[in-house]
């Protein structure tokens, strides 16, 4: 009895085992299929982000440079409207004399051109050896360096006495200093500001420092230009430094202690009597000390000037996280809606399901790429610039 009943039991159990094996195999295959799609999608996103950094950022910089060139050309035209003698006194200041009293007052419009605000164009730098011709903006913040090379706020203007310093990207946002390492001693660098063109000559071979070696931006008792950029290419680990010495005498600087003051202009009537008093604002140096009495004494302590930082504009911006998450969710939502719509549309009608599906993807792609671009722009803010 037992021998005759065992084969049927085994025969009944065999199909269940085979079914479970096929089910398990199907689950594993489905999981691997999903994993494969996720990895492919992630690889495509990484590739698109690399394309954005190497080419998309260049488009942004090109637009910014076009606007900056127009603004800088307008600044040069505005300077030409000022008195030639006043401009000459700034371009070629006379040697200091013990009998000199006060410098002439400067119009506020001229002062604003000599003291640009962050992000404003302030110079044009040309390096013929490596084909560089870029408008320099004031400041080296992340947003400033996206527009082009940036001038360190703490340093004098190019052409003035001291160590003028300019930073620029090497691989993104136009890569103005991409080939900075190719300069050699004797190569020429010309920087044009509203006061004129200052010519520098590279004084030594480019050298590399760590980001904390900010002493390269200190004063050295000469008139020089210091260019800084990231090193090696595609990395922000170190800084590449180029130093150049000014050829000729430096331009003059804004008189120390200059401040806006109200100057009254008297308008007279035809009979010579005063009619109205029109206040006009100019800038004059405050050379006289404030009066003091025996009962009161005023003591003023000058604050130490902030020191330049080689990491300015190159470190990641942690405040970009909310924007990254927000645009990432929007990108995922647009992609999910496109996928659902493609599946729904491919099931309508007979035949050509694949064509229907890809037609939906083609329509959705521009919307997806726009929100993905915004997401990449903020991801780029998180990462160290180079």
**What is the CATH number for 83?**
2.40.260.10
pTM: 0.75
Would residue 38 count as lying in a domain? no
Residue matched to tokens 């803010």? 381
Res 99 pLDDT > 90: no
Would residue 123 count as lying in a domain? yes
Would residue 64 count as lying in a domain? yes
Worst-scoring range by mean pLDDT, 33-37, 117-121, 227-231? 33-37
Would residue 211 count as lying in a domain? yes
Would residue 358 count as lying in a domain? yes
User: In terms of residue numbers, what domain contains 323?
Assistant: 318-382
Would residue 168 count as lying in a domain? yes
Same domain, 192 and 334: no
With left for phi above 0 and alpha for psi between -120 and 50, is residue 328 left, alpha or beta? alpha
Residues in the chain: 386
Which of the four pLDDT bands, split at 50, 70 and 90, describes residue 140? very high
- Spatial separation of the C-alpha atoms in residues 144 and 148, rounded to whole Å: 7
User: Among residues 198, 221, 246, which one ends one of the domains?
Assistant: 246
Percentage, residues of the chain above pLDDT 90? 41
Tell me how many domains the chain contains: 2
Q: What is the pLDDT of residue 300?
A: 35
Same domain, 215 and 325: no
Q: Could you report the per-residue pLDDT of 27-54, keeping only the tens digit for each?
A: 888 888 888 888 888 888 888 888 888 8
Res 56 pLDDT > 90: no
Percentage, residues of the chain above pLDDT 70? 77
Would residue 22 count as lying in a domain? no
- Spatial separation of the C-alpha atoms in residues 186 and 283, rounded to whole Å: 39
User: Among residues 222, 246, 270, which one ends one of the domains?
Assistant: 246
More confident residue, 31 or 301: 31
Same domain, 109 and 231: yes
Res 169 pLDDT > 90: yes
Q: Which residues have a Cβ under 8 Å from the Cβ of 75 and sit 6 or more positions away? A: 113, 121, 194
User: Among residues 217, 246, 275, which one ends one of the domains?
Assistant: 246
Would residue 119 count as lying in a domain? yes
More confident residue, 66 or 93: 66
Same domain, 224 and 323: no
Q: What is the pLDDT of residue 275?
A: 42
* Cβ(363)–Cβ(341) below 8 Å: no
Which of the four pLDDT bands, split at 50, 70 and 90, describes residue 5? low
Same domain, 202 and 65: yes
Q: Could you report the per-residue pLDDT of 238-262, keeping only the tens digit for each?
A: 999 999 999 999 998 776 544 333 3
């Amino acid at each position: 009895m037992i021998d005759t009943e065992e084969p049927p039991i085994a025969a009944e159990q065999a199909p269940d085992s085979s079914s479970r094996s096929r089910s398990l195999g199907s689950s594993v295959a489905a999981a691997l299929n999903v994993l494969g799609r996720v990895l492919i999608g992630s690889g495509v996103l990484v590739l698109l982000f690399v394309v954005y950094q190497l080419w998309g950022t260049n488009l942004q910089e090109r637009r910014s440079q076009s606007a900056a060139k127009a603004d800088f050309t307008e600044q040069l035209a505005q300077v030409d409207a000022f008195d030639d003698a006043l401009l000459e006194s700034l371009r070629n200041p006379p040697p200091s004399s013990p009998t000199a009293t006060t410098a002439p007052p400067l119009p506020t419009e001229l002062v604003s051109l000599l003291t640009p605000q962050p992000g404003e164009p302030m110079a044009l730098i040309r390096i013929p050896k490596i084909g560089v011709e870029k408008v320099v903006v004031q400041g080296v913040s992340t947003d400033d360096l996206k527009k082009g090379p940036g001038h360190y706020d703490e340093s004098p203007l190019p052409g003035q006495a001291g160590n003028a310093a300019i930073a620029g990207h090497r691989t993104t946002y136009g890569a103005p200093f991409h080939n900075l390492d190719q300069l050699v001693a004797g190569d020429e660098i010309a920087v044009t500001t509203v006061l004129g063109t200052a010519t520098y000559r590279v004084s030594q071979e480019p050298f590399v420092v760590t980001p904390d070696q900010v002493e390269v931006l200190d004063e050295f008792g000469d008139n020089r230009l210091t260019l800084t950029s990231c090193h090696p290419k595609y990395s922000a680990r170190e800084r590449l430094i180029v130093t150049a010495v000014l050829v000729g005498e430096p331009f003059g600087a804004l008189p120390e202690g200059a401040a806006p003051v109200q100057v009254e202009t008297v308008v007279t009537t035809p009979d010579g009597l005063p009619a109205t008093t029109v206040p006009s604002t100019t800038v004059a140096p405050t050379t006289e000390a404030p009066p003091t009495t025996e009962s009161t004494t005023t003591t003023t302590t000058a604050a130490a000037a902030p020191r330049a930082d080689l990491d300015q504009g190159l470190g990641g911006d942690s405040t970009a996280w909310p924007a990254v998450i927000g645009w990432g969710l929007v990108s995922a939502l647009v992609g999910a809606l496109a996928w659902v719509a493609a599946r729904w549309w491919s099931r309508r009608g007979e035949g050509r399901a694949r064509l229907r599906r890809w037609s939906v993807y083609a329509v959705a792609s521009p919307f997806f790429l726009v929100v993905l671009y915004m997401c990449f722009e903020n991801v780029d803010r998180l990462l160290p610039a180079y």
